[in-house]
Structure 1
Amino acid sequence: MKTWMIRAGEDGYLFDEFNEKNLIGIGWNEVGDLKNLTVESSIEEKVRMLYPDYKEGKIISTKSQLKKFVLDFSLNDYVITYNPNSRIYLFGKITGDYQFIKNGINDYYHNRKVEWIKTIGRDRLLPSTKNTLGSSLTIFELTEEIQNEFLNLDIANVSTANTSNNLDDSEELQIIKEDFELKAHEFIKDRISKISWEEMQELVAGLLKAMGYKARVSKKGPDRGRDIIASPDGLGLEEPRIVVEVKHRTTSMGVTEVRSFLGGLREKDRGIFVSTSGFTKETKYEAERSVIPCTLVDLDHLVELIIDNYDNFDPYSRSILPLKKLYWPQN
């Protein structure tokens, strides 16, 4: 038997109806009764026709949610829903086939009957389970481990937290935090990879400004390896004078281009070579043995620098790469 998480509307506003009426449901009422649709493609066709303003990602997501509810849910599957206000989960079993009714759950016409077995407070769950259940999807399948956790929790002993795993909560939360940070890092890289070369230059210049330098992007045309010039005074007269080359492409940077960049630097210059596609081993060696100090910045390093200095970014630089700060509980 599978176990499914289903949202009771935005902020759980239908939680009490789910509970009192022994029903679960989802919206997208405009698609009508899907009882006779037995293939996923038919659902997608309806979504595309009825929601022409939906972007491709939302079309696929909506189709997936409807498909799960109509085709994938089975009798005797377990189901979980959540009330974020009371921080209570309902755990039950699906007892009815899919039906499309207008007098079941308010606003949600796609319904299934359920039998609720128990309520579980969020504080009693393992951190890893809380993390999984925190997904924003309307419907998603849960693991057998989470199923067993809900089945084994004693509803009578509501004050006892689950202590069945070997990791201390703080240790497990740290693992989850690191996972979030890794995902955020990769999504930022995805976003940077999509911006233009011109925007990339402005972004790197904005980073240098956030680090306390005055930076100027070179005008279009032959720049002899000088996409950006930065210095404390903005004129290049006060040391250090930083010369930056920016390459924004999909192939790793070869040694010839870095060697050419280093050859154009003056004795007291400091070089930064930014390549969003990374550097070959030979290129790294070339920079390490250079008499003039030169830092190679790949995409991972660039993201780290941006995160560390983003609070000091000017509005224009933020507009190129809009980021939102997320807060995490401190141990």
Structure 2
Amino acid sequence: MALWLFRAGRSGEYESKFLNDQKVYLTWDQLDVNLTKFTDRSELVSYFMNDYEAEKLGRARNWAGQVWPIAHEMSKGDWIILPSKLKSAIHIGRITGDYEFDKGRGNPYYHSREVEWFATDIPRINFDQDLLYSFGAFMTVCRISRNDAERRIKAMAANHWLTPNGNAYIDPTQSDRDEEENLFDLEEYANDAIAKYIIQKFKGHGMTRIVEAILKAKGFTTYMSPEGPDKGVDILAAPGSLGFGEPKICVQVKTSDTPVDRPTLDQLIGTMHNFKASHGLLVSWSGFKSTVDKEIASQFFNVRLWDQRAIINELLDNYDALEADIKAEIPLKRAWILAGTE
């Protein structure tokens, strides 16, 4: 069994189609040629140079390295790792079908394989940092092999997608072995490191402190329930120096190891009514199950959802305005890097 990293678009725009269709698609723009016609990778490199306007040989080789596997290297039973760009989660599936080329599907869905998505919405925080490093490769498609990744992810699958004790294995001799895995998303990697630090220091009521600090930085006056039973509300917030402005918000904060389900959302909506709040904010470090995601549209004018990714984005966006004690507990500094190009 091999592990393959797949991306569902630069911004996750194809993610829902991947999951709903039970497939992975090689979403390479206007690549309307059957890949089985190429019997050697060098032929595919030549195609990219001569017919696809790669212009540079290195670029053509890079593209061929990502396109070749779906038709020639992947096998039934291999596992697909699909990092979500829409939430702080990982989806994992098993390849169940052969390579398919169907020009009738239209661009960019010509190339596909059937996949059984047997584990979706696994919180990123459950994975060791070196695995997340590999998941952050910039490639649209690449094989994940370093640091005994296959055995470790299988062990997680057998342990309810939690990392077993002693599961980590880092082989320094592999650090430069696979060029494909060295090209990674530095921003995602940094966010994962921040996430690991935060959940270690602020799980439980500590996370409520962070959310309250963010709301204060955004100009809200807040009331935070003391640690212990919260009667369905962790924070009350409203604009203005006295908190008499609009919107009035009820906030519920969860830091469990599993995504939040629909009953928690329903409870928050009921709590909003009890506290005469106009809006609700449901915060779940481990994200939300699909039963909650399906309610996003119907609750758009009433409720907002923050998962791990949203919490960190809000923390970074409002960091300069946070109170000094929170900044002292989460010491961050800005770093400037060139945006990824090729």
TM range (shorter): 0.3 to 0.5
TM-score (norm 1): 0.46
TM-score (norm 2): 0.45
Asked which structure has the greater CA Rg, the reply is 1
